[in-house]
Chains A and B, each alone.
Chain A
């Protein structure tokens, strides 16, 4: 398909103000719409091959008016601030542990939300800045403008002040990512916050209701509670849909045992303001999913974390014929990240049936560009992508969930090995001795090859990464058994 492009496949010519655009006189080789993980990785890679690249990045403010700089979800309102606030919560726990290890300090320890948030936002600001510098250094043109297709090979970029410009390119990469979904109930947009607002909230959220059971919901609920806040999670049905349910339940149990309230099988039907303020007071009315029961609750903050929607509905895809899944808004692509329109590609969270993870977007973006401009043939390997949920008890996973393995291979063809373990560091401070857990799922018919790895415990991400590499090498149970453990670490389990 790359060959076809270069050999002058008939191009549709755009007529605009009487002018006709000829092929090979495009403004750019590549225009990337969306300056997030996938988009920036692709742009930087393309610049390496001396291509003329433009990045259009624009953040539509949240319903509450919040916005941020270059870098996308991960940097601004995702992985980075999330992990830093998770770390703040872990440090709170460390403080408690440290007394058992002989440390003495003020009896009453309190957390200051503003101190933390300021530090986090400062760091994010440095990343935004860093990206702008890198793009400049690599001679990638960056515009803080909203990009949308207006015709073949042409996008319109509209900046904050409403100034419109047109640009043409030989190829396009859509990497517009997603934004949090709202419930569509009275009061949701006026009074509720989402993860887009939480990490820069200029006041402590106080008593918080988290609506949702996604990893975003549980991670946020987790660190808010760890900072000392009163947290409730309202769940419609199951926790962590798509993840191993045995582990998902263990995560929920752990959170409950550590002071987070769960309201199961309820959904909010309206949010009203009792009192304005920073934070104010909100009244939430919810109905049971299993009957007529109605409950009410009062909270300072309501955080909606019920899912994310792809930013594909308002970028003019219909003007260029790019097909999307009408129901989900996601874009189906082939295994080379190409949409149904040959010169338009897509990476990242907007892709249908692919994992919504930063490293996946980065890898896909880079490899795509290498194929387009450097003659490479390597495609992104979406199999056995490891992931970690940074809940108070962290969960690292790679490969099949137990139920998925059973479904695919049959219960009699898989073997599940598991163990509880007690991290050494938890012994002295008398922390839970039966919560940390590890399990591997093996395919009996394929030499007991490890097809699923799950670990629930501290530093799950650090532990899981190496095992993911081993799984990529086709590790079997026997090889796992014969590898000597480092002692004493959790990973040796």
Chain B
């Protein structure tokens, strides 16, 4: 028989909704299935996906709360009488953030309605290549058929299940933003499984790697006054430029976040006081240590939400190691008429804007006679740690690997934001690095910026890089004064020269 819908999207997050709404613009019959499986702690949320509910949005708002804490300190230097004590109330912040997120959930539902997209609050799984079986919370079943199906179910935080107590007592980012009460003294565990290298390992190219949840959360928790510790087995911000990653963590350390480096937890127990006792191994010293915390948050990676989709029934191929759906440049899976976008897809950056763009372009190719493919190169990204890090293009090490250190030129500068002067803030980690090809044209391969408003700074330059910007073109661009971004147009000291890269503003 005929399929009920032209397009059925499973997953109402950034990618899914963008795809659905775009398809509806072409007058197509579109439906979206969205369902949030409660977290092990019982947290759930409305329409909109990770970004809106438990990702970018609440993260940036809480990051802003932390930044405002710093602003309060700065303000005194600028003449405002904000005397100590100043303190922060979690519940006020959390409620404000949660209210805003709920308004977005509502907004999305209204938008779908306005665009005549049918919304089902149901958990979907495949019955056959054109049929999805939807299950409501109450267990009621509905069958939906569609000509094309887009899987955009995203990912959920992983738990290190081999650690005793991990599941019962730990929370994840899914829960953090919805806590009604302050998490108190919190350790954030950033635990990387050692990558076992097999002969036929697929190397994961992490250009535009997804920002680091643990560092961002640890950052804002510290900023609002909580005693926060990050435990990590190996390196932070894997996939990012490692020099920049060190500067970021260095800053966090001076900011007050504690780090337990090269440690991994072995068990979690609950104490009578309701606090949690965490035991861990310190691989450097070979010792076992223990401490108690109010909250333990796991940030050990995200797993794609593919288990309950029944992909095997229809033959959609996934990466056997990580479970992600394999797609081609068209976002097509191994099964005709079944596509996938967003965090669930293999080899793509786990970012909202890429999911949205991919979803939109897919809809245009399916229904709008477009042939434009998604360009995943040079995707800019920002890590919203207390001192922000924005980047686009290749890390220095990736550039060296690809072209050889003799064929690249790295320009860099340590600078001081004007606003830090009167505020007497430490600018030690405010740093910019631009990686270029060395040959005549000096095309820019990568740009890295640590400082305030890093996202705002990098965005425009990402555009320039998409236009093939070269170092000489950047030097021809006159700076805006006084800003931090202008320092990029003034980069002139190379790493190769060995000269001191500290620049003075005026």
Which listed residue, B68, B456, B478, B479, touches A491 by the CB 8 Å rule?
Answer: B456
Instruction: Select one of A114, A473, A486 contacting B459, CB under 8 A.
Output: A486
B402, CB-defined interface residue at 8 Å: no
Whether the pair A462, B479 counts as a contact (CB closer than 8 A) is no
The answer to whether A462 touches B81, judged by C-beta atoms less than 8 angstroms apart, is no
Partner of A463, one of B375, B456, B481: B456
B482 touches A83 (CB 8 A): yes
A386 adjacent to B478 (CB under 8 Å)? yes
- Tell me which residues from 463 to 494 in chain B have a Cβ below 8 Å from any Cβ of chain A: 463-464, 466-469, 473-474, 476-486, 488-489
A433–B209 Cα gap in the complex (Å)? 32
Instruction: Please indicate the chain B residues that have their CB under 8 angstroms from the CB of A116 in the complex.
Output: 78-79, 422
Q: Let me know if A475 and B467 touch, CB within 8 A.
A: yes
Number of A-B contacts (CB under 8 A): 285
B71 and A98 contact, CB distance less than 8 A: yes
Interface string of B85-114 (1 = CB under 8 A from A): 111111111101100100000000000000
Residues of B near A428 (CB, < 8 A) are: 61, 64, 96-97, 100
Contacts of A363 in B (CB 8 A): 478
A61 sits at the interface (CB 8 A)? no
Contact A381 B464 (CB under 8 A): no
Is B480 a contact of A492 with CB atoms below 8 Å? no
Q: How far is the CA of A16 from the CA of B339 in the complex (A)?
A: 88
A492→B356 CA distance, assembly (Å):
13
Per-residue CB contact flags for chain B residues 443-456 toward chain A (1 = under 8 Å, else 0) read 00000000001011
Which of B125-133, B281-289, B376-384 is the interface stretch? B376-384
- Give 1 or 0 for each of B10-23: 1 = CB within 8 Å of chain A CB: 00000000000000
- Contacts A462-B453, A466-B463; A486 near B474 (Cβ below 8 A): no
Segment from B159-167, B325-333, B346-354 that makes contact with A: B346-354
| B window 45-91: CB within 8 A of A | 51, 56-57, 60-61, 64-65, 68-69, 71-72, 74-75, 77-83, 85-91
Interface readout for A404-445 with B: 1 if CB under 8 Å, 0 if not?
000000000000000000001101100000000000000000
Query: How far apart are B365's CB and chain A's nearest CB, in angstroms?
Result: 14
**Which B residues lie within 8 Å of A469 (CB)?**
460-461, 464, 469, 473-474, 477, 488-489
A51 to chain B, nearest CB (A): 20
Set of chain B residues within 8 Å of A484, measured between Cβ atoms: 351, 353-354, 357, 379-380, 462
| The one of B382, B422, B480, B506 that contacts A464, using a Cβ cutoff of 8 Å | B480
- B483 touches which one: A106, A465, A474, A479 (CB < 8 A)? A465
Contact A358 B460 (CB under 8 A): no
Q: Does B418 contact A (CB under 8 A)?
A: yes
Q: Which residues of A contact B488 (CB under 8 A)?
A: 465-466, 469
CA distance A101 to B66 in the complex (A): 9
Q: How far is the CB of B108 from chain A (nearest CB, A)?
A: 15
Q: Does B341 contact A (CB under 8 A)?
A: no
Secondary structure class of chain A's binding surface, majority of residues? helix
Docked Cα-Cα span, A485 to B77, in Å, equals: 35
A112 CB contact (under 8 Å) in B79, B375, B468, B469: B79
* Contact between chains at A461 and B463 (CB < 8 Å): no
A104 contacts partner chain B, Cβ-Cβ < 8 Å: yes
What is the distance, in angstroms, from B443's C-beta to the closest C-beta of chain A? 11
Query: Which of B93, B419, B477: most chain A CB closer than 10 A?
Result: B477
Interface size class of A (residues with CB under 8 A): 35 or more
Residues of B within 8 A of A115 (CB): 77-79
Which chain B residues lie closer than 8 Å to A424 at the CB level?
Answer: 57, 60-61, 64
Interface code B395-424, partner A: CB below 8 Å = 1, 0 otherwise?
Answer: 000000000000000000000001101100
Q: Which of B74, B80, B469 has the most C-beta atoms of chain A within 10 angstroms of its own C-beta?
A: B80
A482–B357 CA distance with the chains assembled, in angstroms: 8
Q: Is B224's beta carbon under 8 Å from chain A?
A: yes
Would you call A232 an interface residue if the criterion is a C-beta within 8 Å of the partner chain's C-beta atoms?
no
Smallest Cβ-Cβ distance to A104: which chain B residue:
B87
Are B467 and A491 in contact, with the CB atoms below 8 A?
Answer: no
Whether, in the assembled complex, B390 has its beta carbon less than 8 Å from a beta carbon of chain A, the answer is yes
A103 and B486: CB pair below 8 A? no
Is B78 a contact of A87 with CB atoms below 8 Å?
Answer: yes
Q: Beyond A79-B482, A428-B96, is A123–B353 a contact (Cβ under 8 Å)?
A: no
| Cα distance A98–B64 in the bound complex, in angstroms | 9
Q: How far is B56's CA from A360's CA once the two chains are assembled, in angstroms?
A: 38
Tell me, in angstroms, the Cα distance from A16 to B302 when the chains sit together: 84
The 10 lowest CB-CB distance pairs between A and B, nearest first, are: A466-B460, A102-B93, A116-B79, A465-B485, A491-B459, A489-B455, A467-B460, A466-B461, A101-B65, A88-B78
A residues at B contact (CB < 8 Å): 37, 71, 74-75, 79-80, 83-84, 87-88, 91-92, 94-95, 97-98, 100-106, 109-117, 119-120, 123, 127, 130, 227, 357-360, 363, 381, 384-388, 396, 424-425, 427-428, 459, 461-470, 472-475, 479-480, 482-492
- In the assembled complex, 25 residue pairs joining A and B whose CB atoms fall closer than 8 Å, in A order, are A84-B421, A92-B75, A94-B68, A94-B71, A98-B69, A104-B88, A105-B85, A106-B81, A112-B80, A115-B79, A120-B422, A359-B479, A381-B476, A386-B480, A396-B480, A428-B61, A428-B64, A469-B473, A469-B489, A470-B463, A470-B464, A473-B473, A486-B381, A486-B459, A488-B60
